[in-house]
Structure 1
Amino acid sequence: MASAPQSNSLPIFYNNLEPLSSQAHAKFKARMVDKAPFLTSNHAVPLTVDEFAMAQRHFPIVFSSGADSVPLALMGLNEGVNVFVDDEGKLIDPVYVPAYIRRYPFLLAKLRPDSDELSLCFDPTADAIGEFEEGQALFEDGQPSAATQEILKFAEQFEQAGQRTGQFMKELSESGLLIDGEVAIQPNDSDKPFVYRGFKMVSEEKLRETRGDQLRKWSQSGMLALIYAHMFSLGLMREIFARQMQLGKMPQPVMPAIN
């Protein structure tokens, strides 16, 4: 069900990366778009811990399978299904949009493997950036414009949130609370359940067995609130399932694990 973002290639959504340059892109502008076609075939979007409070109202929050698990907002329960956007990538209903989506097509990336310096890059295949008549100029008099500075600020904030998320995932993994997830949903008109696997979740049983001093530590650090946000959000899986049924985007019952 839930796959981790690609680590040995480009991140999800990105087809290419190019450093933003005042020389090569002096006439470039960034414009608002009302659709994101890349979302139509993506059912799981990376999420930072800073977003758990908002995201848990709209999406199930799960953790990807594999060694380097990351939080994911589920926008569908099956690969290639997103129940929050139409076939063009427009939002069907008002919903919280994860920062990972809002950051696109920009990204802070290392240009040299021997340096920790991050540079602002963008996906040149995106419709939101280019030499347009409309939009906000990215450079003025050879210098980054106010719009570019805001884009850079947002990208930096996302990186910082990513570091906090990494620390949360490290503690969560070391706590032993994460288990392989499984959710079975049986519609009224079906004699077999739809079984969803291929993700990780927090074990309620293991959480109940956690020592009081450890729970107090997690409560003081804010980690406990994040765990509960994840656990409460899992109830939304049945709502996502119902949306898929309405859209006619259902697989066969009793599925194998999807990774």
Structure 2
Amino acid sequence: MASAPQQSLPLFYNDLQPLSSQQHADFKIRSADKAPFLAKQHAVPVTVEEFPLVQRFMPIVFSQGEEPVPLALMGLNEGINTFFDEDGSLNEPNFYVPAYIRRYPYLLARLRPDSDELSLCFDPTTDTVGAFEEGEALFVNGEPSETTKNILQFNEQFEQAGARTGQFMKELKELDLLIDGEVTIQPDGAAQPFVYRGFMMIDENKLNELRGDQLRKIVQNGMLPLIYAHLFSLGLMRDIFGRQLRQGKMPEPQLVQPTA
């Protein structure tokens, strides 16, 4: 059975298999009200198009390393998610679910390293896609159903948003705006503060010191509102801390790097 390359599967994916009208002719999609794979996930990648919505609910930070990516924090410590319960149930009705989560279990992937063509794949370990009695059909008379066409369109849009996000990150690095982040929170009655590190953020001082031509460029290309969405969202670190406190999810004062 053909499979997509498995060298480095993205977050959440256990396996990848190309969607085929021959092999999966009778497969259907059934709805799910829980996402168990999110129960212990504290950070998830987001695209720049999502910044205006994400910054209302979660802090937006950047991963460390040579190729940083934007991350929305659902918890301040690895293994802690304050928006999803232990069984993967969403516990906050007023919440924006990032596209990276909504994309699962589907993914556009290259089946051959020598080709730029992307094929629609899915994680066969999911319990939402299979030869079920009920659900929405993936294929009708050997052709992709409207449901499958919509899934493909969503994944294509996600890839395009990912490319724009990559360009945004490239320009941030060229402008040397990213610095190591640190947030210190001192709860009432605590003997020691909680110090959170392991992420990157934009340096407001460097932003304010940009030359006129550099500032004009980020205004014209639409980067400036995205930068401020990130900076404003950092105030939610304390909100997430408060959610952890109320939910009894307070580990020792530390932050393991939020990895994508």
**TM-score under structure 1 length normalisation:** 0.95
> In structure 2, what is the equivalent of residue 182 of structure 1?
182
Partner amino acid, structure 2, of 1:100: Y
Give me the whole-angstrom Cα distance separating, in 2, the residues matched to 1:60 and 1:132: 39
Cα distance in 2 for partners of 1:63, 1:247 equals 25
Q: Which amino acid aligns with 2:116?
A: D
- The answer as to 2:47 corresponding to 1:48 is yes
Distance 1:115 1:54 in 2: 35
How far the C-alpha of 1:199 sits from its partner, in A, is 0.5
Match of 1:35 in 2: 34
- Which deviations, in whole Å up to 9, do the C-alpha atoms of 1:166-216 show, x marking residues without a partner? 000000011101000011111002021111111000001111111223212
Q: Is the 8 A contact 2:78 2:256 kept in 1?
A: no
SS at match of 1:225: helix
> Given residue 225 of structure 2, which amino acid in structure 1 is its aligned partner?
A
Aligned-residue offset at 1:46? 0.5
Structure 1 regions of 5+ residues with no counterpart? 1-6
The residue aligned with 2:14 is 15
Q: TM-score, normalised by structure 2?
A: 0.94
- 1:113-154: CA deviations, max 9, x gaps? 111110000001112111112211000000111100000000
Q: Distance in 2 between matches of 1:117 and 1:99?
A: 22
Q: Percent of aligned positions with the same letter in both sequences?
A: 68
RMSD, matched Cα: 1.3
Q: Deviations over 1:38-89 (max 9, x none)?
A: 0011111000001001110011000001110000000110101100011111
Aligned to 1:50, the other structure's residue is in SS state helix
Match of 1:3 in 2: none
Report the CA distance between 1:258 and its aligned residue: 3.4
Question: Which letter does structure 2 place at the counterpart of 1:247?
Answer: Q
**2:104: which partner in 1?**
104
Instruction: Output the CA distance in 1 between the equivalents of 2:197 and 2:115.
Output: 39
Other structure's SS at 2:201 match = strand
Q: Distance in 2 between matches of 1:47 and 1:8?
A: 22
What secondary structure, in the 3-state scheme, does the structure 1 residue paired with 2:188 have? coil
Structure 1 position 247, deviation (Å): 1.2
The alignment covers a number of residue pairs equal to 252
1:236–1:8 distance in 2 versus 1, CA, 3 Å = farther
Native 8 Å contact 2:76 2:255 kept in 1: no
Partner of 1:132: 132
Q: Report if aligned partners of 2:42, 2:81 keep a CA contact under 8 Å in 1.
A: yes
* In structure 2, distance between residues paired with 1:258 and 1:117: 34
